[in-house]
Structure 1
Amino acid sequence: MIRKLRDTDNQEVMRFLKEEAALNLFIIGDIEAFGYDSDFQELWGYFENEQLSAVLLRFHNSFIPYAKNDKLPVNEFTEIIKAYPEKVFLSGKSELVEKFENIAGLELGKKQVTYFAECSTDSGLEETDLDILTASPEDADRIIELRTQIEEFYPNPNAREIFLQSLKSGTGRTYFIERDGIVAASASTAAENSMSAMIVGVCTHKEYRRKGLATAVMQKLFKDVMAEGKLLCLFYDNPEAGRIYKRLGFTDIGQWTMYR
């Protein structure tokens, strides 16, 4: 049986998701911040013998499915996703979301497979004397402008709304370095929750690369988040970036696939 999840399901849902808390940080963070009853967020649960066995999250036009032991109700979740009128982004644990490939009537975007890494220690982090700023809503357009210049990034039509929403709700923060009146390097968190935070949007303006600016921003951001007792997670697919992250204390725990 599949049905919409409600506030009364929260205890069971959280118990289910927290068994793989790092991989479920997006779903956990969005539930903690926005609950089960909003116009931009919906959650469905699949129940077997009255036990929750799979969850599907819609956040704006992005969908994330999750199930344990690969017991994913692909057909049921596909019908929900196909009913959404706009272009959708699908992402999640690779062995789960790849089950949605080649399904008639389900149009998935370009596939990107990344490594999923986590960090629980700040022993690899250094201090910096660079002036690192914390973004406010007034900085949103400049941050989004920098991100649109990064070839590896995929623009989301809701990017500005999501950015502002994350600042307002406390589910995300952005640090940046300014040079010559422009944002030269930036790094953000997303899906921050009581246990963890995802590192996203690490980027450097093309005119300021290879100066250590992004690394300095990341180290400041990492230290501040971990000082709150949170686990850090991130995706990467670039071997050079992977080497940097591992020097900062990250270890691979799986793969994450996105269709955008």
Structure 2
Amino acid sequence: MIRKLTEKDHELIWSFLSNESSMNLFILGDIEAFGYDKDFQELWGEFDELNQLKAVLLRFHQSWIPYANGVFDVDGFISIIKEHTGDDQIMLSGKEEIVRALEERNVLNLGRKQVTYFAECKTTENLSSYDDKKLVKKATIEDVDRIIDIRSSIAEFNLLPSAREILIQSMKSNVGRTYYTEDNSIITASASTTAEYSKAAMIVGVCTRKEYRRRGLASNVMEVLFREVLDEGKTLCLFYDNPEAGSIYKRLGFVDIGKWIMYR
């Protein structure tokens, strides 16, 4: 049976998703930040014959994230997604094996596919000491347009039309923070968190403007950001698909815990 989830289900949902808390960072973070009664966020759960939760589906704006700890009602989840999106192209992401179960039905209008490694870090042991912290600044709402500008300059980034709105919402609701370096008011490197909640944070948007690369700027930004988040007792999570980037993250203490598929 699949039904809509509400605040009354909170303890059951939290316990279920916390079995893989890093993999479920987006769902857990959105629940902690926005609850169950926002028009841009909905959750559904599949229950077994003993009324035990076995799968969860999240809609956050136009994005969908499914999660299950075993076999789940793939067609039931697809029906919910199609009911809300029709034949429109959808944004779908999640743990590799769960997303593959949905995509194999070949009935959802999916966009560009990206398969990445999912890594986590729980310790500052591998971080070096970056002392000149005054050169790394924490962004405010006033810096949003400059952050979007540097991200737009990165060929590998595929910014959504709603990127600015999402960044502002992230800052206002304290589910994300951004640090950066600058030169003559131009942001030269930056890194952000998103989907932050009490236990974890996702690292996103690590970038350096092309003409400022190979100066260690992004490393300095990450050093300050990573240490701040880890010192708060949170686990750091990130995606990567570039082996060179992966080797850098592993030197900083990240460990692969699985793969993540994103359709955009």
* Pairwise TM-score range, normalised by the shorter structure: over 0.9
- Structure 1 pair 101–201 and aligned structure 2 pair: CA distance change class (3 A): same
The match for 1:156 among 154, 160, 165 is 160
Change (3 A) 1:104 1:250: closer
Residue identity in the other structure for 2:121: C
Looking at structure 2, the residues matched to 73 and 8 of structure 1 have their Cα atoms a distance apart, in angstroms, of: 23
Measure how far apart 1:22 and its partner are.
0.8
Partner of residue 10, structure 1: 10
For residue 180 of structure 1, report the CA deviation from its aligned partner: 2.7
Does the 8 A contact of 1:82 with 1:105 survive in 2?
no
Distance 2:6 2:25 in 1: 19
Ranges in structure 1 where 5+ consecutive residues have no aligned partner: none
CA contact (8 A) 1:66 1:72 kept: no
**Residue correspondence of structure 1 range 80-95 to structure 2 within 5 A:** 80-85=80-85, 87-95=89-97
Residue by residue, what CA displacement relative to the aligned partner does 1:14-51 show, whole Å, maximum 9, x if unpaired?
00000111100110000000001101111010111111
1:216 corresponds to which residue? 220
Q: Does 1:61 align with 2:58?
A: no
Identify the residue that residue 122 of structure 2 maps to in structure 1.
120
Question: Shift of the alpha carbon at 1:104?
Answer: 4.5
2:28 corresponds in structure 1 to: 28
Matched to 1:111, the amino acid is K
Match of 1:171 among 169, 175, 179: 175
In the TM superposition, what are the counterparts of 1:98-113 in structure 2 within 5 Å?
98-113=100-115
CA deviation vs aligned residue, 1:130-166 (integer Å, no higher than 9, x gap): 5111111111111112112222222212211111111
How far apart are 1:217 and its partner, in Å? Answer: 0.4
Q: What's 1:43 paired with?
A: 43
Question: Does the alignment pair 1:135 with 2:136?
Answer: no
Q: CA RMSD in A?
A: 1.2
- Whole-angstrom distance in 2 between the partners of 1:87 and 1:167: 28
- Residue 84 of structure 1 aligns to a residue whose secondary structure is helix
- The separation in 1 between residues aligned to 2:73 and 2:156, in whole angstroms, is 32
Are residues 1:182 and 2:186 paired? yes
Which segments of 5 or more consecutive residues in structure 2 lack a partner in the other structure? Answer: none
CA distance in 2, matches of 1:24, 1:241: 23
Preserved contact between residue 116 and residue 255 of structure 1 (Cα < 8 Å): yes
Aligned residues: 259
Q: Which amino acid aligns with 2:66?
A: P
- Can you list the C-alpha shifts for 1:206-250, whole angstroms capped at 9, x where unaligned? 111111111110110000001100011100000110011011011
> Distance between the aligned counterparts of 1:168 and 1:115, measured in 2?
29
